[in-house]
Chain A
């Protein structure tokens, strides 16, 4: 009985050895192949699962949403710096910015965003006369409206909505009439003084297409900016949007249906 068992064990070990050698050889071959075949799809680590399988012109299987958690934002300005670096945004114009809200014990609300929060809020505001009751930061960016006013008013169709829900600007068509700048309820648009065309936050469409997170989301140290696919039930975005949370959008009454949501949005926020 014991002998039999022992021989069986030996056999198993032999098998394993063979399998092990097979695996090593196979792996080596596969590894060598990886070295000679250009690994385009593997160039970036995929931050948005499944994006590298999207080969069509538009992203069809995903529904993106952006969530800003204002209870997490510390006003460091990293997102603004990342954005400025990503797009070389000219001075005095802002694709994204961070607002500082201070509420004193007389319920006065003080809001500011010096230089769009680009330098970070390192100094306390000096001109608040009463003791501060509450303070928080609110990052702002394109709301990617489902019913965008900018697209409605653009006379030449240079501002358009892609089938995957992104609102983008074709700077080869834009005449810079500024109608979209006037029409945006959130003031996220500007006329880029370099290109002389309308410009705004794109939620880093070029990065998202490659499976990367928007630059601002990528650098946020407190994870206050979140981006993801509402169709992906494993995504944090899905979990926040589908489970009970205090969540809202800016200027709900405008009827633009933003895809940018705010977690813990306060009524003082403009």
Chain B
């Protein structure tokens, strides 16, 4: 298949002959999924660092490293998708200013720099202490990461905290831009009735927050199933529910508006939602993976259950929401291409397991951030009560 474009099959009506190819397949499903997780995880950290939600203190550092691990892999699906990845740098060197896609490299790099700087400043005190304890190679690593400064005096740390506050503050709009922009890439395609809605960046952004928070809850509970701070989990669940209310309501409003306006676009979308997307959208995305976690989260937020129940159902709901967001990406990215631009026909698409852009490469790309996270944990301690105490005091 060589991954240039995977071929779909006709279901009904008339599709233009070139519309039998799904050019944006699994890799482009993963790209907004990964950047969404990055943006959402950063928001979790900022809720603590900027908005001083004290309950989120235990995961404030972890969520930044979690964001970094996924950010490091955000370009992989894109590079794997390109027909000429060796020319990818052209987007940097000769960008077309009118292209929404050309901004990606700049936004991604700027956000990456802010994220890395924030991690280094938050960890500086810890890194200096670790450097003193370490020897050999690791001592050098900590030396470089602490930016060559051993000064952990009160004034130096106070300055660090000012920098951290500043970086976290500018990081919020940047994280929003990073993912709102991904929504723009899709929303800006006027030829595609499913994508071309000004709500697209909003929905992408809200679902990003949701997937980031859910991802943090799931990994936090996997790493520390017993020791996880239950107040922190409760707080995360409330935020998750809050963002999910907005996310889900906007998703439903969007399709509701299309149906109510009932322009010729809706007739094409109707074919899609009640055709090839019926199962993956209505049954899986909406009914199973939105409605069920919605009520679980509502229950956990409104009723005070014991810690075990909160952790167990918090985990289940978060995992389901992670899957909901993946389904949403699938239904938007793939779904938009299943409707021919003839607006007279739809095609169906099933990914292959072993192909350049198949399921196996997708799994590898989703596992990689977890491996990177594990490596990061060897350098940056995720949970250090004493350290997080001091960095949280500002």
Contact = CB atoms under 8 A, between A and B. Distances in A.
Interface of A: 92-94, 97, 99, 111-113, 115-116, 140, 149, 151-158, 173-179, 181-193, 196-197, 254-255, 270
Nearest to A94: B17
B23 A178 contact: yes
Secondary structure class of chain B's binding surface, majority of residues: loop
B91 interface: yes
Contacts of A192: 4
Nearest to B83: A176
Secondary structure class of chain A's binding surface, majority of residues: loop
B296 interface: no
Nearest to B7: A92
B198 interface: no
A193 B2 contact: yes
Given A113-B17, A173-B90, A191-B83, A152 B2 contact: no
Given A178-B24, A191-B23, A153 B87 contact: no
A185 B341 contact: yes
B96 A154 contact: yes
B119 to A, nearest CB: 29
Contacts of B185: 179
A176 B190 contact: no
B191 interface: yes
Contacts of B189: 149, 153, 182-183
Interface residues of B, number: 46
Contacts of B21: 92-93, 181, 190-191
27 contacts: A92-B7, A99-B14, A113-B17, A116-B17, A149-B191, A153-B101, A153-B188, A153-B189, A155-B99, A156-B95, A173-B90, A174-B84, A177-B78, A178-B23, A179-B99, A181-B21, A181-B23, A185-B341, A187-B18, A187-B340, A191-B83, A196-B4, A196-B84, A254-B190, A254-B191, A255-B190, A270-B344
A23 B82 CA distance: 66
Interface of B: 2, 4-5, 7, 13-14, 16-21, 23-24, 78, 81-85, 87-88, 90-91, 94-96, 98-102, 104, 185, 188-192, 336-337, 340-344
A176 B88 CA distance: 10
Nearest to A101: B14
A171 to B, nearest CB: 9
Nearest to B96: A157
Contact of B341 (A112, A151, A187, A190): A187
B341 A175 contact: no
A77 B158 CA distance: 77
Given A178-B24, A184-B191, A197-B84, 15 more contacts: A93-B21, A99-B14, A113-B16, A152-B99, A153-B100, A156-B91, A157-B96, A174-B84, A177-B81, A179-B99, A187-B19, A187-B341, A197-B83, A254-B190, A270-B343
A156 B4 CA distance: 18
A174 B101 CA distance: 14
- Candidate in B20, B101, B344 with the most chain A CB atoms within 10 angstroms: B101
Nearest to B22: A178
Given A156-B90, A182-B23, A188 B18 contact: yes
Contacts of A191: 4-5, 21, 23, 83
